[in-house]
A = this chain, B = another copy of it.
């Protein structure tokens, strides 16, 4: 049993499956799976700065900015000056964005049903907890030593 190979591949397979079926179910709404994640993240914390938004959705500011341009164009999101920090902008859902998110949430309910349907109730919690531990262990800070070591190792 080579769990060492299997865990990374299983993680990849599960995520890509989720991403793929999500993209498919959102396509007719003109929204991607990643854009859905952005909208859903906003709905849980209005008036985030772009950096905070990027951090919460495991992305980076540059990527988020590109996504926001698209969503802004579609009228789903609005950006305003931060009240106390003139450098920053706060991002929030528009009314249309909230309606769209509700539609997307409904459209993807069947995906979540499939996900939870194959798990015992207690398994779902376990899975979340284990995934969080893994994500945490693989933070850039935690693997920073890795970069240094890799660079000092003979390459090629």
Contact = CB atoms under 8 A, between A and B. Distances in A.
Given A107-B153, A111-B146, A124-B7, A140 B15 contact: no
A29 to B, nearest CB: 6
B133 A119 contact: yes
Contacts of A110: 143, 145-146, 149
A138 interface: yes
A40 to B, nearest CB: 7
Interface in A1-56: 1, 3-18, 20-21, 24-25, 28-29, 37, 40, 44
Interface in A111-135: 111-112, 114-119, 123-128, 130-135
A84 interface: no
Contacts of A133: 118-119
How many chain copies does the complex carry?
2
A24 B146 CA distance: 9
A: contact size bracket: 35 or more
A8 B115 contact: yes
A117 B39 CA distance: 34
A69 interface: no
The 3 closest A-B pairs by CB, nearest first: A15-B15, A17-B138, A10-B131
27 contacts: A1-B125, A3-B124, A4-B116, A5-B40, A7-B112, A7-B124, A7-B127, A8-B18, A10-B132, A11-B11, A13-B58, A13-B135, A14-B134, A16-B58, A17-B58, A17-B138, A21-B146, A24-B140, A25-B143, A103-B156, A111-B143, A114-B137, A115-B137, A115-B138, A118-B134, A118-B137, A126-B126
